[in-house]
A and B are shown apart, each in its own frame.
Chain A
Amino acid sequence: MNTKTFMLLIAAMLPLAAHADRDVDRTLPSSGVKEVRISNTSGSVEVTGADGDEIRVTGRIEEDVEELVIEKDGTVLAIEVKIDASRHGRTRASAELRVGMPADLALTVIGTSADIEVDGIRGEQRLKSVSGDVRTEIWSQPLDAETVSGDLRVKGHGETSRLRLAAVSGDVDAEAVAGELEAKSVSGDLVIEADGLDRGRFESTSGDVIAEIALERGGRIEAESVSGDVELTLGGDVDAEIDVSSFSGRIDNCFGPKPERKSRYAPGSELRFTHGEGRGDIRVKTLSGDVELCNR
C-alpha cells in the first residue's frame, strides 16, 4: 500500500471515527431540579434513586447517535438522546443510559423501543415506551406508565398511591400496590396484587384479568373484559355489594350465592349479593369471558 492509498483510507474512515460508539459520564448538581426527564429512542434507560444531591449520567451511546443533550430548563433537567434525522432508521442509534438521581425527584422517561428500569425513585413517575418493557417500583407518589407491546411491571411497597397503567398487547403486572389503580390492556393480561385498594378499575378487550385484592372499607372495584376471563380473589374482610354480569361467559362464585340466568331467552347470567354490610362495591362485566370470584 503506497502512502497516497493509505492517506485516502484514513480520510475515508474519519467520518466513522467521528461517530464511533462512545462512553458517557457526566455529573451535575441537582440543586433547583424538581424533575428529571429522559428521552431515549432505543436501547435502555436505568434510573436509580440515591442519597445525595447529584445527578450522574453514565452509559454508552452508539455511533449513529448525534449527541446526548443534557439541559436544565427551570426546575426540569432534560436528558435527551438525539439522533441525526438523516440517520434515522440506521441500526446503530441506540443508547444505554444509567442515571443516578436523588430519590425524591419526579421522573419522566420516554422511549420508543428502549427498555425502562427504575429502582428506588420515590417521586412521581411517568414512564412511556412503545415496544420497550417498563419495570419500576413505587411508594406513595403517583405513577403513570404506558406501553404498546412492552410489558409493564410495578412493585409497590404497600403504600397508598395512585397508579395508571396502560398497555396494548403487553401484560401489566402490579404487586403490593394500594390506593387507586387503573390498569388496562387490549390483548395483554392484567395481573394485579393489591392490599388496601380504594379504587380499582381493570379493563381488557381479550386479555385476562387476574386480581388478588383486599378492598379498603367503602372501596370500589370495576373489572371489565369483552372476551378475556376475570379471576378476582378477595382478601381480608370482604364487605361489599357484588354485582357480576356476563352475556355468555360462565360465572363461578366461592361466596355461596349462585348466578342466575338473566332471561329465559338470552344466554346471559348475573350474580348479585351483599357480603358483610355491603359498604364497598365490586362490579364485574364481560361479554364472553368467564368470571371467577373467590376469597383468599
Chain B
Amino acid sequence: MDNQEEKRARAEAELDRRIAGLARDVAPDRDLWPDIEARLDEQEHAAPSRYGWWGAAAAALAVAALLPLLLREAPDAVVPVSDDVPMATVPETTAPRAIVPEATIPVETSPGMPASGIDTSAQRLRLRNAAVTSVRPGPEYDEARAELLELLEERLEGLAPEEREIVVRNIEAIRGALEEIDTALQDNPDDPLLQELMLKTYQTELDVMARVNGLAGPARRRTDL
C-alpha cells in the first residue's frame, strides 16, 4: 500500500468512525413552533415601514442607474473563486457533531490558472471544489482529497476527451450532491440522516477519484496489480 493509499484509508476510516458515532435520532431540545408562530404574528401586526413601497421603488431605480457602471467594470475573463466568497456556516449544537463546522474553506486555486476563461477539466474540478460546501469532515480527508485531486488532474490528461468529460461530470455530480445535502443541513443541522449521507458522499468522492486514478494509471503499472 503506497503513501497515498494509506492516507485515503485513514481518511475513510475516520469517516467510518464518525458515521458509526452518529446519533440515530436527535430529538429537538424544545418545540420551536410556538416561537415561530409568535414571530409570524408579530410580523403580520407590525407597523408598515415608513418608506413603504416608495422606498423599494427608489432603491430599484438607484440599482438600475448604477447597473451600466457595474457591468462596465466587470472583468471579461472568468473570475476565479476567491476567499471572500461568502460561505455558509453550520451553527454549533449540543448534539454530538459528525461534521466539523468551518467558517470558510480554503479555496484551491492554481497559480498557473490562466484568466482566459478556457475551461479545462482541471480548472473545472478546482473551481467546483471551492464551491462545494462550508462543512468539512476533517484535515485527514482534506489531505487525502488534495493528493487524489492532484493525481486525478494528471490522469485526466491521459484520457480521451470524452472520457475526461465523463469523469469530470460525475465528480461534479458528487459535488452537486454534497451541495444539495449541505443546503438541507443548513436548515436541519442535527439530522443524522443528512450527516450520514454527507459523510458517505465525501467517501464516494474519495473512492471515485482513487478508482479513476487507479484505472487510468500508466500502463506499466497495470500488470503490478
Which residues of A does B touch, CB under 8 Å? 37, 39, 41, 78, 80, 82-83, 108, 110, 112-113, 126, 128-131, 146-149, 166, 168-169, 184, 186-187, 203, 205-206, 224, 226-227, 245-248, 262-266, 268, 285, 287-288
Contact = CB atoms under 8 A, between A and B. Distances in A.
Contacts of B222: 39, 110
Interface residues of B, number: 37
A285 B33 CA distance: 27
B163 A37 contact: no
A83 B222 CA distance: 13
Contacts of B216: 112, 130, 148
Contact of B212 (A126, A168, A203): A168
Given A146-B211, A227-B180, 14 more contacts: A39-B222, A110-B222, A130-B215, A130-B216, A131-B163, A148-B166, A184-B204, A205-B174, A247-B188, A266-B187, A268-B191, A285-B193, A285-B197, A287-B194
B62 interface: no
Interface string B95-133: 000000000000000000000000000000000000000
A167 B115 CA distance: 34
Contacts of A206: 173, 177
A147 B225 CA distance: 15
Contacts of B159: 130
Contacts of A131: 160, 163, 166
Nearest to A243: B24
A148 B204 contact: no
A92 B114 CA distance: 35
Given A112-B216, A226-B177, A247 B225 contact: no
B81 interface: no
Contacts of B181: 226, 287
Contacts of A37: 223, 225
Q: 6 nearest interchain CB pairs? A: A226-B177, A110-B222, A186-B170, A149-B166, A39-B222, A168-B170
B20 to A, nearest CB: 13
Given A39-B223, A131-B163, A264 B215 contact: no
A23 B218 CA distance: 26
B157 to A, nearest CB: 12
B28 interface: yes
Nearest to A37: B223
